[in-house]
Structure 1
Amino acid sequence: MDLHETHRPEPATTARPTADPTTGAAVTATRRTAAVTTAVPPPSRPPRHVRVVPVLTAAWWSVSELVALTVTLLGGTLPVGDASPDAVGTLLHDVPGSTLSLLVVLLALVGATLAVGMARARRSAVPAPARRAATVAAAVTVAGAVTLTDASILARLGYLPLLVVRAPFDEKYREAFAGYVAPGVLVQYLALGGAVLLAWATVLFRRRARGACAVCGRAVDHPEPAWRTPARAAVWGRRWALVAAVIPALYAATRLAWVAGYPFGMQPDDYDAMVADGMLPAAFGLAAFALVGSVLTLGLFQRWGEVFPRWMVGLAGRRVPVMLAVVPATLVAVAVVPASITLLAIGPDQLRAEAAESWGALAPMLLWPLWGPALGAATYAYHLRRRPACRTCGLG
């Protein structure tokens, strides 16, 4: 029946209508519902990642558990801890590889169990205690996986553009690619990838378990908190974006000083050795990568981060896709987390010793524990500001 037919006025009568508060409230509520219904687009099928991520997470952790268990039962040792020359920067680099292999098996078992359980959870509401327990268990598992990683992930990400440019012309740079697929490095990739997937699957699980939209997290009966509104997100997002832009800019400044011939914060002998080893091009590559990242971070609150500027031929005036900014920024923010853990693995005594020798190289790195969260917060604020009405649930 058409909505207008439902509220079609009755024929006029001579009797004066009396006010009924109950009926009036019902009509008002009905009108509000009709207004909401016409104000949002019709719901559509959830995007593919809502269905794929939980299944992929369960498969990722299950296969990891199977491989780790097989290696351990056959008497082998995983390339972790002191069993891997590529794990010297991890928080667990001094743990015997045989012992840490057993812990990895246990960690993978917990992760696989959680991932399978969350993927199989029904769409009906899950009790709050069960949601909290699953979230805590997932957080502990993610933290355990991240402790298997170190700063080499961020370093390889920074060196990658330089290697791609120089590799066709220099055999030394082509050989450097072997370090990207070393056994200990592959374990770190798998651990960090599993951590990201499990965190993502947990977010989707919590949304589905409390009856919210799995895509945007909005719910009809739970209004968005004030800090997540676009206006508020613009305020705190700008602050975090400035912090996240300054930190890599400081890092780039020290490296550019070295390239310019000034041994800023380094002993002269160490600087001469770096020049003799041909490390200045690498320093320039890292500085350029950091500067580009710093400028792009400013776009998380600038106008040109939402609309392509006029000098970009073919794209000028078009709106920047939200994911074009969110995905790379999130990738860097995630890669910074293992780099921060490396600082903990070094320890205060060694940090003081290295600072005395080369404080210019170390000082910008001390800000990395702040860089990752700041960039993550700025990216999330950008997402909150620019996300449109949800195509799945229609809320917005």
Structure 2
Amino acid sequence: MTTHEASQQSSPPTGRAPRGRPSRPRTSRRLENLAVLWWVAGLVLALVYRGAVGSAVVTPEAINHGLLRDVPVATLATGVTVLAAVGAALAAWLRWGRSTANGPRRAAVGGTVAVLLAAVLLVDATVLAGVGYLPAVLVMSLFSAEVRASLDHYVAPDFLFQVVVLCGAVLLTVAAVRSTRRGLAACDRCGRRHDGADPAWTTPAAAARWGRVAALVAAAIPAFYGLTRIAWALGIPLGFSRDSVESMRGLDLIGPIGLGTFALLGAVLTLGLYQRWGDVFPRWMLGLAGKRVPVGLAVVPATLVAVAVLPAGVSMIALGFSEGMLGLDAGTWGAVGPALLWPLWSAALGAATYAYWLRRRGTCGACGRG
């Protein structure tokens, strides 16, 4: 036997745990624990809020957003309490449930989907707009006390409520995904099957192909939106009436400048989900040139944007229907048209981010595969 043949026989096959690794991956339930704590805390706050509805210390508008904005506050507060209770129960089951039967696990996944749909109904474009405005607000706040006062928006009850709901939805989704992976005899961290029979579409080569398409779609939509807003800031009535554009002065320009810049920057960064500079820092970045881009540096912000865009798009479309604003013409298409594509933007950005993670997940620290 040659030395090369001996080394081949002693090396572990691709996709299997190296010698010395446990046959089953080490598991960490920290995120599941956080999901339980988050939803239990949310339930406590919801109960307190529900008990205080009608008193002088409660702001009714804090939860009157999204598609449920016209629901009476007392009814909505009860609904939020029920949602928090269901979310807490689901998070607890996903954390400690031991059943391997398909029925309970499918019920848990179905319950998670129901909670996510409810979250979409409760949230509007407040979070997405807040993130988009923030860069311009921070810059302009250096020169304007009026702009600095607008920073109170980020600690207002309605903004914080929507952030809490979206974070809870993300944590519950992570817990459901990990529980589903365990039920499929896969690593709950990386998703690879213990028997090595992973779907072909999850391979790095396949993910690179469909991820590129998703990234191009996810970049085109915010670029379209951003161009219209930057045009307004420059006084160009692109898809908007000239009178409305000319009326924008002073603080009114924060919206188009902030959201337009944020959208265009996001579109450029989205392209990095399939291009080389998204994997390795380019040469012009002093001190980082040639180093690998941390996976989380791309995945975390892209995921957060995808999560915020979905309810924003749904609420904007619903608002357009309710107020008869969807009859697009030369003076309105720029204001309404791009928002109609936001749900597609959310789905495409989520897919492109997942493809990027599949390409770059590398060897799993829990199961040793990859």
TM-score (norm: length of structure 1): 0.83
Matched, 1:244 2:222: no
Moved more, 264-273 or 198-207: 264-273
Quick one: distance in 2 between partners of 1:85 and 1:68? Answer: 12
Quick one: distance in 1 between partners of 2:274 and 2:207? Answer: 10
Matched, 1:300 2:273: yes
Partner of 2:47: 69
Matched, 1:335 2:335: no
Partner of 1:145: 119
**Correspondence 1:1-396 to 2 at 5 A:** 35=13, 40=18, 42-43=20-21, 50-73=28-51, 76=54, 83-84=60-61, 87-88=64-65, 90-122=66-98, 126-221=100-195, 223-275=197-249, 277-348=250-321, 350-352=323-325, 355-356=328-329, 357-396=331-370
Q: Is the 8 A contact 1:43 1:391 kept in 2?
A: no
Number of residue pairs the alignment of both structures matches: 359
- The one-letter code sitting in structure 1 at the alignment partner of 2:318 is A
**1:69-95 Cα distance to aligned partner (Å, 9 max, x none):** 233245558979xx317745x110111
Quick one: distance in 2 between partners of 1:129 and 1:169? Answer: 60
Change in CA separation of 1:292 and 1:119 when aligned onto 2, cut-off 3 Å:
same
CA shift for structure 1 position 351: 4.5
**1:130-160 Cα distance to aligned partner (Å, 9 max, x none):** 1111110111112112211101110000011
Moved more, 250-259 or 107-116: 250-259
Partner of 1:18: none
Partner of 1:5: none
Unaligned runs of 5+ in 2: 1-8
Change in CA separation of 1:42 and 1:143 when aligned onto 2, cut-off 3 Å:
farther
Q: Is the 8 A contact 2:326 2:336 kept in 1?
A: no
Quick one: distance in 2 between partners of 1:171 and 1:358? Answer: 33
Q: Is the 8 A contact 1:308 1:319 kept in 2?
A: yes
Q: Is the 8 A contact 2:125 2:315 kept in 1?
A: yes
Change in CA separation of 1:283 and 1:209 when aligned onto 2, cut-off 3 Å:
same
Quick one: distance in 2 between partners of 1:40 and 1:165? Answer: 51
SS at 1:40's partner residue? coil
**1:278-328 Cα distance to aligned partner (Å, 9 max, x none):** 423442222221111111111111111111111111111111111111111
Q: Is the 8 A contact 1:114 1:134 kept in 2?
A: yes
Quick one: distance in 2 between partners of 1:41 and 1:379? Answer: 32
Quick one: distance in 2 between partners of 1:157 and 1:47? Answer: 36
Q: Is the 8 A contact 1:79 1:97 kept in 2?
A: no
SS at 2:248's partner residue? helix
Unaligned runs of 5+ in 1: 1-30
Mark the structure with the bigger radius of gyration: 1
Quick one: distance in 1 between partners of 2:301 and 2:29? Answer: 23
Q: Is the 8 A contact 2:16 2:196 kept in 1?
A: no
Aligned-residue CA RMSD (Å): 2.6
Identity rate of aligned residues, in percent?
A: 47
Quick one: distance in 1 between partners of 2:89 and 2:289? Answer: 48
Partner of 2:4: none
TM-score (norm: length of structure 2): 0.89
- The one-letter code sitting in structure 2 at the alignment partner of 1:119 is R
Moved more, 329-338 or 370-379: 329-338
**1:32-91 Cα distance to aligned partner (Å, 9 max, x none):** 99646987375489789x3211111111111111221233245558979xx317745x11
